[in-house]
């Protein structure tokens, strides 16, 4: 028996993940050992510092192209771009989470934001520390997402899937003042996520039986061998796709999304809507473009049908919603369909436009949920649409910001939503998927109705006695809103720098 030979490890390529995982482990120790009152500033500072440091490392190694740890992790253009996107969006999410918080109405609320309520509530806000365990959990989730988009074999991808999923299940249950709804959402997410992970793992087993390996290069070579069992290939690909489509909130695997988005604390919902979608589509792109591109003509029509179903479900059911967070959940589902339109183009334009869309949508949805956290009354967040009537008269600044974000979701020109939809639709036409573009344009028109209904309600309705006010945001929430708004505007007015960046990054290594 020969000596065990350890694979070569490029620690520079793995540094962003190692920084986040190391900081998360330190955060667990702080949670166990630090005095209760000092945990929040320490945890928040550590989380922000680790995220910024990891992002700096991604920039430093932006030209690195390598496969390391025995082929388990690939660092290439898409990996580095998506990791940078996850870290930037995660940083904005931490800003939303980060002010000294006390839970009221199911969300993390800064002391400055509690402008409605009794003096007892205000005293509680000043004395009760927030749920500081949210910070190491968030770092573990972000670290898992970084590994997920860089995984170069199916087993590593499965491990990364569990690493970032388990903290998210816990984060969804942290709304202690609205415990029943929050824990119900977390339980639904956990159970359905467990089934999706089981499908993914069973698919890995079938693909291993087909190819004799789990690395994407091995699968790619096996796909080119026609005498192998096609049953194992397509059954395995279908099961693996179920796990990824679930994380991306694509129909018919979307049913968890509205309940979880509504029940989870709103900053956690923002984290999931932005970062989880980047991770899910990053992994899906790598599997489709690297491992299974040899059978693209077989799975392309199936994924196209899923994109159509997703766009229709998201657009039609968004019209019927009466809760703001559920409306944004169905909007997220529809946008997942648009992202899949770009992905199934299966060309370089499809890859680059999908990555552009992920960044553009991520900043917009973070700004949207950031504003939702501020519309409050004595009972907490006022998410029912009827409560937003006349909000433009009471808080014109934030109603104007939210109007701009909704117009971006609708794809109005001079916003990032228009630019990103134009990019993915153009890539789909180039890839011969014009029928998907037709459905995409129709559903975009349909989806504009619920957005414009909210705009009309805010500006043209008279405020009632029950209309809540928009609370004064703290410094970090203000920063998060400013970043989201400016990114949405900049990517609509001057998208060329990011488009060039995605074009330069759109090249996988095997």
For 258-282, the pLDDT digits (tens) are 999 998 999 999 999 999 999 999 9
Maximum distance among all alpha carbons in the chain? Answer: 81
**Residue 2: pLDDT band with limits 50, 70, 90:** low
pLDDT per residue as tens digits for the range 310-361? 999 999 999 999 899 999 999 999 999 999 999 999 899 999 999 999 999 9
Domains of the chain by residue range = 11-505
Please check whether residue 386 is in contact with residue 328, taking contact to mean a CB–CB distance below 8 angstroms: no
Mean pLDDT of the chain: 88
Average pLDDT over residues 191-211: 94
> Whose structure tokens read 């974000």?
405
Half-sphere exposure of 225 (CA within 13 A, CB side): 12
Q: What mean pLDDT is predicted for residues 181-209?
A: 92
β-bridge mates for residue 310, sequence order: none
Under 8 Å between Cβ of 304 and 436? yes
Contact 76/509 with Cβ under 8 angstroms? yes
289 pLDDT exceeds 80? yes
Q: Tokens 């008279």 correspond to what residue?
A: 462
What is the structure's pLDDT at 113? 40
Classify residue 324 as exposed, middle or buried by CB count within 10 Å of its CB (0-12, 13-18, 19+). buried
Q: What is the pLDDT of residues 119-132, one digit of tens each?
A: 333 233 332 335 78
Structure token pair of residue 343: 């992905």
Q: Which residue has the higher pLDDT, 112 or 411?
A: 411
Q: pTM to 2 decimals?
A: 0.92
- What are the Cα distances from residue 142, in Å, to 86, 96, 373, 507? 7, 15, 22, 23
| Burial status of residue 34 (CB atoms within 10 A of its CB: 0-12, 13-18, 19 or more) | middle
Supply the pLDDT for residue 177. 65
| Mean pLDDT of the region 28-51 | 91
Decide which of 185 and 467 is more confident: 185
The total number of residues written for the chain in this structure = 510
Question: 508 and 76 in contact (C-beta within 8 Å)?
Answer: yes
d(CA 354, CA 278): 10
């Amino acid at each position: 028996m020969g000596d065990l030979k350890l694979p070569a490890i490029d620690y520079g390529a793995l540094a962003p993940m190692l920084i986040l995982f190391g900081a998360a482990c330190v955060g667990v120790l702080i949670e166990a050992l630090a005095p209760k009152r000092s945990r929040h500033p320490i945890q928040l500072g550590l989380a922000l510092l680790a995220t910024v440091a990891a992002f700096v490392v991604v920039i430093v190694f932006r030209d690195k192209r390598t496969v390391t740890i025995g082929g388990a992790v690939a660092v290439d253009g898409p990996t580095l771009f998506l990791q940078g996107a996850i870290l930037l969006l995660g940083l904005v999410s931490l800003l939303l989470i980060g002010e000294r918080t006390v839970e009221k109405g199911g969300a993390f609320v800064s002391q400055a934001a509690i402008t409605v309520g009794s003096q007892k509530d205000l005293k509680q806000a000043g004395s009760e520390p927030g749920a500081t365990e949210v910070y190491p959990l968030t770092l573990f989730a972000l670290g898992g997402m970084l590994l997920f988009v860089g995984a170069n074999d199916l087993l590593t991808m499965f491990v990364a899937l569990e690493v970032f999923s388990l903290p998210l299940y816990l984060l969804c249950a942290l709304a202690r003042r609205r415990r029943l709804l929050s824990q119900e959402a977390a339980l639904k997410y956990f159970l359905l996520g467990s089934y999706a992970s089981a499908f993914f793992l069973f698919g890995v087993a079938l693909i291993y039986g087909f190819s004799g390996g789990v690395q994407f290069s091995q699968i790619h070579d096996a796909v080119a061998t026609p005498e192998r069992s096609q049953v194992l290939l397509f059954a395995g690909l279908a099961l693996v796709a179920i796990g990824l489509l679930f994380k991306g909130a694509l129909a018919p695997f979307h049913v968890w999304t509205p309940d979880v988005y509504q029940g989870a604390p709103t900053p956690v919902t923002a984290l999931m809507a932005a970062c989880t979608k980047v991770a899910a589509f990053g992994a899906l792109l790598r599997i489709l473009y690297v491992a299974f591109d040899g059978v693209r003509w077989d799975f392309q029509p199936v994924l196209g049908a899923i994109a159509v179903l997703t766009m229709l479900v998201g657009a039609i059911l968004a019209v019927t919603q009466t809760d703001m967070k559920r409306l944004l959940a169905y909007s997220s589902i529809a946008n997942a369909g648009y992202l899949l339109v770009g992905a199934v183009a299966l060309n370089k334009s499809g890859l680059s436009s999908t990555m552009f869309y992920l960044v553009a949508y991520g900043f917009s949805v973070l700004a949207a949920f950031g504003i939702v956290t501020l519309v409050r009354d004595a009972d907490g967040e006022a998410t029912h649409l009827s409560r937003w009537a006349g909000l433009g008269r009471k808080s014109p600044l934030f109603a104007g910001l939210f109007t701009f974000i909704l117009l971006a979701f609708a794809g109005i020109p001079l916003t990032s939503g228009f630019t990103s939809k134009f990019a993915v639709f153009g890539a789909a036409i180039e890839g011969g998927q014009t029928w998907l573009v037709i459905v995409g344009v129709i559903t975009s028109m349909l989806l504009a109705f619920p957005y414009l209904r909210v705009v009309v309600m805010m500006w043209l309705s008279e405020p009632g006695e029950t209309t809540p006010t928009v609370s004064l945001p703290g410094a970090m929430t203000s920063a998060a809103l400013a970043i989201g708004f400016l990114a949405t505007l900049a990517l609509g007015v001057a998208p060329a720098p990011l488009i060039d960046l995605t074009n330069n990054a759109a090249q996988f290594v095997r």
